[in-house]
Structure 1
Amino acid sequence: MSDPRKTAVLYRMVMPDHVCPYGRKALWLLKRKGYAVQDHHLKTRAATDAFKAEHGVATTPQTFIDGDRVGGYDDLRRFFGQKVPEAGATSYVPVLAVFAVALLLAGVVVWWMDGPVLANLPPAFIALSMCLLAMLKLQDIEKFSTMFLNYDLLAQKWPPYGYIYPFAELGAGVLMLAGVLTWLSAPVGLFIGGVGAVSVFKAVYLDKRHLKCACVGGSTNVPLGFVSLTENLMMIAMAVFMFASGH
Structure 2
Amino acid sequence: MTHTYQITGMTCSGCQHKVETLLSQVKGVQNVDISLAEGTADITMAQHIPTSTLQDALKDYPKYQLSEAQHTHTMSMDMEDTENRTWLATYKPILLIFGYILTIAIIAGYMEHGFMTMTAMRVFMSGFFLTFSFFKLLNLQGFADSYSMYDIVAKRFRAWGYIYAFIELGLGLAFALDVQPFAVNAVTFVVMTVSLIGVLQSVLNKRKIQCACLGAVFNLPMSTVTIVEDALMIIMSAVTLAIIL
- In the alignment of these two chains, the number of paired residues is 161
1:132-147 → structure 2 map (5 Å cutoff): 132-147=131-146
Match of 1:153, SS state, is: coil
**By how many angstroms is 1:242 displaced?**
2.2
Q: 2:95: which partner in 1? A: 96
Q: 1:9: which partner in 2? A: none
Q: 1:242: which partner in 2? A: 240
Q: 1:216: which partner in 2? A: 214
* Structure 1 range deviating more: 237-246 or 136-145: 237-246
1:145-224 → structure 2 map (5 Å cutoff): 145-205=144-204, 207-224=205-222
- Quote the Cα distance in structure 2 between the aligned partners of 1:109 and 1:224: 31
**By how many angstroms is 1:111 displaced?**
2.9
Contact map agreement 2:142 2:215 (CA 8 A) in 1: yes
- Quote the Cα distance in structure 1 between the aligned partners of 2:96 and 2:169: 18
* Structure 1 segments unaligned to the other structure (5+ residues): 1-85
Q: Does 2:236 correspond to 1:231? A: no
Contact map agreement 1:88 1:221 (CA 8 A) in 2: no
- Quote the Cα distance in structure 2 between the aligned partners of 1:170 and 1:237: 19
Larger Rg: 1
Q: 1:18: which partner in 2? A: none
| RMSD, aligned CA | 2.4
- Quote the Cα distance in structure 1 between the aligned partners of 2:217 and 2:198: 20
Match of 1:209, SS state, is: coil
Q: 1:114 to 1:215 in 2, by over 3 A?
A: farther
- Quote the Cα distance in structure 1 between the aligned partners of 2:167 and 2:112: 25
Q: 1:191 to 1:113 in 2, by over 3 A?
A: farther
1:11-90 → structure 2 map (5 Å cutoff): 88-89=81-82
Match of 1:154, SS state, is: coil
Q: Which has the higher contact order (CA 8 A, sep 6+)?
A: 2
